[in-house]
Chain A
Amino acid sequence: MNLLTIASLTLREAARRRVLAAVALLTLVTIGLTAWGFAKLHGAMLLRGDQTFVLGSFAILVLLIGYMFSVVLGIGAAFVAAPAIGSDVESGVVLAMLPRPIRRSDFVIGKWIALVALLVGYAFVAGGIELALVYVISGYAPPHPLRALAFMSAEGVVLVTLALALGTRLPPIAAGIVAIVFFGVTWVAGVAQSIAIALHNDGVVHATTIVSLLLPTDALWRGAAFALEPAAIAAAAMTDVTRESPFLVGAPPPAAYIWWTLGWLAAVLAAAVVSFNRRDL
């Protein structure tokens, strides 16, 4: 019950502090600008090639836009989640709330539920509108749009969980920055892994695999990329591993990796609860 009270309070705060309004406005502006850009590009592409050329070009465009969207989603997730607990501790809000008959775990998990709901809702609404726009203008639809949005949401949920857990101990800014640095390092490790595979350097491959297990964001993006790219692009990546990159993915993450990610989320959330449970306020 208290868990839902905290979740609803967090959602109300996002609405009252105009976070939702600001995000909605920015999304509308972005959608308007990209719709205009897509229409212009579509016209220019038709002058230089046929519909196949248009579809191929838009497939690459969707991958690039999807990548940018996932980065914005990840950074936004980290910056929204990092102060969720830390700022309540710093401001003294928790001093008034936690002497009430409320478990600290309810406080942490209630915040997490609200942040995840906000993030997944935003990812599916904004991402869905953008993909629908591409389809209406160009006729291109990625093979698995919902799966792609689910992978991108999962990437955001990983960062929400990490930043929230860090925020149980670190000041809000530090928690946000640390989460984003980890996010960046994992992306670099993913690129390094692609190069290492091409060069058959097992040491680097193993090291970067460990990084992708410690923070599953890059592998989840590759899952989204695979769901966005047409079969021909995936086939090219499969046949020539030297071409594998964050934008050219031969295979989605294996089922075991999805289970690993779910376990990672549960473990980090549990660590956040334990960390906050033991904190002197």
Chain B
Amino acid sequence: MDDAIATVELAKRYGSIVALRGLTMRVGRGEAFGFLGPNGAGKTTAVKLLLGLAFPTSGEARVLGAPLGDLAVRRRIGYLPELFRYQDWLTAREVLGLHCSLAGVPQAERRAEIDRTLHVVGLEARASSRVGTFSKGMQQRLGLAVALLGSPEIVFLDEPTSALDPVGRHDVRRIIETLRARGTTVFLNSHLLTEVERVCDRVAFVDAGAVVETGTIADLTRAFASVRLRLQDDAGVAPALLQRAGRSLRLADGWHTVDGLVEDDVPQLVASLVTAGVRVYAVEPQHASLEDRFLELLSTGEPADDRIADSA
């Protein structure tokens, strides 16, 4: 089956500013894909290129199997922009009606479709209120409703929870999970890594306009796991064994912490400690969070180094 999104060295330059250096990635159909990176990494630029809002300087990309900007494919795409605004003089229902019309939702289905999306985002009570009277969070809910109109095959969400309270964030997570269960591809741009971690199948880390690393959440976090151990080490052999197993070793409050080992290595480590006569009282594998991996990559990744070198 085709990928939902496939890009090869997609680049965008604004004058002398390189917004996207060369994006190569694939997003499978039905995946919830997290697109992560620091401010200015090129995330929103990438989304704009994929949606035909901006034009690439070089490279290639296909969305739902078609070249960028294809009108027929745009019918199957939903989008919540980061810096969005809807006509503040229209009511929420009218905004949705306008987008039904633009998206080509059949006239007979529009009312039901508008009611459905209003219900999904919890805006039924304000359906007849003008958008100008909405709080930022309510406008974001409306934006989400607009993105869901017409049951698109792929939904781009650019910082969908930036203005939402915890209840709103919970709702967005629920919506993304429902979309994923229905087979809709979700492309999620977000700074909120814990949320990405909860809802996405795979993520790409982007920095300085290029993908630094791609993988499933489990892959990315497992590689940087650590383990805490409470030991009785009368012979003093534990430090050597622990250092050999991981990348670094810390000792604090009676706990040894070994960083940088794979979770699957833990049983072997414990076995070697026991064999060496060390008494093992507690073993606590620690999973690295996506945020740990994010910070790790951006502080040591090559693109960041390049950027620093370029500016020096």
Contacts and interface: CB of A to CB of B under 8 A. Distances in A.
Contacts of A92: 81, 83-85
Contacts of A103: 71
Contacts of B52: 98-99
A16 B53 contact: no
Interface in B97-128: 98-99, 101-104
Contacts of B77: 99
A5 B98 CA distance: 8
A100 B55 contact: no
A102 B52 CA distance: 11
A101 B72 contact: yes
A111 to B, nearest CB: 13
A95 B44 CA distance: 11
Interface in A228-281: 278, 280-281
Contacts of B146: 96
Interface residues of A, number: 22
Given A94-B53, A101-B102, 17 more contacts: A5-B101, A5-B102, A17-B89, A92-B81, A96-B79, A96-B81, A96-B143, A99-B51, A99-B52, A99-B74, A99-B79, A100-B75, A100-B99, A101-B74, A102-B71, A103-B71, A281-B54
A21 interface: no
B250 interface: no
Interface residues of B, number: 29
Contacts of A278: 55
Given A5-B101, A280-B14, A281-B48, A93 B89 contact: no
Interface string B2-19: 000000000000100000
A2 interface: yes
A248 B99 CA distance: 52
A13 interface: yes
Nearest to B95: A96
Nearest to B78: A99
Nearest to A94: B53
A22 B114 CA distance: 33
A17 B52 CA distance: 30
